[in-house]
Structure 1
Amino acid sequence: MTLKNTRYWVLLAAFAAAPAFAQNIAVVNGSPIPKSRADALVAQLVQQGQQDSPKLQQAVREELVNREILMQEAIREGIPSKPDVKAQVAVAQQTVVLRALIENYLKKNQPSDAEVKAKYDELVKQIGGKEYHLHHILVDNEQQAKDLIAKIKGGASFEDLAKQFSKDPGSGKNGGDLDWSDPKAYVPEFATAAEKLQKGQMTDEPVHTQFGWHIIRVDDVRQTPPPPFEQVKAQIAQQMQQEKLQAFEEDLRSKAKVQ
């Protein structure tokens, strides 16, 4: 009867201890390694691109066991009590806490779809650039460029002269056609001259750049089409969150007493 009772209490003790043990992934020299620590490391590795799997779980367990063994040795040698180590630990702890604060703030301050769309509409109005359909002829000297301008004004074909004389290997064979583009994509002297022209106009004087002498013609001008809302929605939302975070930090700083 006594033996049976002893076994009964042993079983109860085992069942009582089981939940506590399940919360640890290992016990090293009597010091438990909590499962929460392993979960945090796994989550960090998954965020960095690794796939959660039994293999990763086992690797994390081995890593934490090794760390615990080394940590116990560091404690035995008094390493954590050194002033420089204490300072580094404080900085690391602060970094973790602040990262959590920022993540929590961003999670609670996500802009609505309506707010993001309103911001998109505002940006479209502000940016609203233009694209130009351009032709040009590039030659080595100013006099040759002036002679070609005179020929074009006299009725010669711009495209034919471009094919014959232009030094630009990309557009010359296509009659000088540069297709649609933002003039700012070109060198400043070229861009400035092109933006001064109206549809159908050609430069009266050659335009000098680092590449040579240009004759520029504007065939057409159109508003730059904005990217579709869905294409930039995520980027706009992220930018809005960053702006809110910056305002949050500035507000806290303005209220803080710094001596």
Structure 2
Amino acid sequence: MKHTLSVLTLAVMTAFAAPAMAQKAKEKAAAPAAAPAEGVLATVNGKAIPQGRADIMIRNQVAQGQQDGDQLRGAVREELIRREVLTQAAAAKGMDKNAALMHQAELAKQAVLIQAYLQDYMRTHPVSEDTIKAEYEKIKAGLGNKEYKARHILVKTEDKAKEIISKLQAGEKFEDLAKDSEDPGSKDRGGDLGWSAPAQYVKPFSEALVKLEKGKFTPQPVRSDFGYHIIKLEDVRDLKLPSYDEAKPQIAQRLEQQTIAAHVNELRQKAAIK
């Protein structure tokens, strides 16, 4: 499975001003200047909306393909004013004192902080190119160089599997008998599993599959944790794997998720929890 990894990028702009201070000619050092307050986008009923909120929204929109300009900035300003108007209306009704709503707000705040923290962690603990290449080679070795087109019928008992094998030996069609399969994903397709490398199946299934000749089915039921299989091999071909460059993004993403999972587990183990 692909896994896909979600990271929220927050870049908060802080402007520092260092205005020149009038100094006596013989003074060797200037006093440090204090940073001014953050700019104000607009004021709604006496409450200021910080410019920083607009900066973040604009960056996010630009990152999604929007064109920066007066139109976007005007739309962002209007959106933030609407939010402030609605927030004040909700507060006037006492909703900012509602415990359930405040818990939701805290969860949202946690989500932002967590994603920012994990992004920073991966920046300082990147997955190396060598690690990605090693994983690619490991996957290649595990999949082998052949893939198989197979059908199967899955049943709950060995006796039922032997009964189906007897019917196949008597000339009944595999596709017709597959209607009784316990596998909902393939029963309506005559048991067709499509093309797959043996490593993608559970071990008893793959071991039996690679021993079959094309057009043959297993003469004995194959037992796995899912039940009893009757397997038919239809064809074999060389396995064409994606190149390293094609597979790299998916492998890197999976390795990043594993890195994050290990770090989270480490933090969990170190935490004092009562």
TM-score, normalization by structure 2: 0.55
Bigger radius of gyration? 1
- What is the deviation of 1:100? 1.2
Task: Report the Cα distance in structure 2 between the residues aligned to 1:258 and 1:123, rounded to whole angstroms.
Answer: 38
Give the equivalent residue in structure 2 for 1:71: 87
Give the equivalent residue in structure 2 for 1:84: 100
**CA deviations over 1:165-224 (Å, ceiling 9, x no partner):** xxxxxxxxxxxxxxx954879xxxx998763245xx7649999xxxxxx99786xx6652
Structural mapping, 1:34-113, within 5 Å: 34-48=50-64, 50-113=66-129
Task: Please say if 1:243 is aligned against 2:267.
Answer: no
Task: Please say if 1:117 is aligned against 2:133.
Answer: yes
Task: Report the Cα distance in structure 1 between the residues aligned to 2:80 and 2:232, rounded to whole angstroms.
Answer: 70
**Aligned to 2:48, what secondary structure does the other structure show?**
strand
Task: Report the Cα distance in structure 1 between the residues aligned to 2:234 and 2:267, rounded to whole angstroms.
Answer: 56
The size of the alignment, in residue pairs, is 190
Does the aligned pair in 1 maintain the 2:42–2:49 contact within 8 Å?
A: yes
**Aligned to 1:258, what secondary structure does the other structure show?**
coil
Does the aligned pair in 2 maintain the 1:197–1:203 contact within 8 Å?
A: yes
Which structure carries more helix by proportion? 1
Gaps of 5+ in 1: 1-18, 135-139, 146-179, 208-213
Gaps of 5+ in 2: 1-34, 151-166, 173-193, 221-230
- RMSD of the alignment, in Å? 4.1
Name the CA shift for 1:131/1:24 in 2 (closer, same or farther; >3 Å). same
Task: Report the Cα distance in structure 2 between the residues aligned to 1:79 and 1:217, rounded to whole angstroms.
Answer: 65
Name the CA shift for 1:249/1:192 in 2 (closer, same or farther; >3 Å). closer
Q: Residue type of the partner of 2:80? A: L
Give the equivalent residue in structure 1 for 2:211: 196
Task: Report the Cα distance in structure 2 between the residues aligned to 1:82 and 1:203, rounded to whole angstroms.
Answer: 68
More divergent stretch after superposition (236-245 vs 91-100):
91-100
Task: Please say if 1:256 is aligned against 2:271.
Answer: yes
Task: Report the Cα distance in structure 2 between the residues aligned to 1:70 and 1:116, rounded to whole angstroms.
Answer: 48
Percent identity over paired residues: 32
Give the equivalent residue in structure 2 for 1:229: 244
**Aligned to 2:43, what secondary structure does the other structure show?**
strand
Name the CA shift for 1:223/1:71 in 2 (closer, same or farther; >3 Å). same
- What is the deviation of 1:28? 2.0
**Aligned to 1:226, what secondary structure does the other structure show?**
coil
Task: Report the Cα distance in structure 1 between the residues aligned to 2:106 and 2:196, rounded to whole angstroms.
Answer: 52
**Aligned to 2:123, what secondary structure does the other structure show?**
helix
Does the aligned pair in 1 maintain the 2:146–2:237 contact within 8 Å?
A: yes
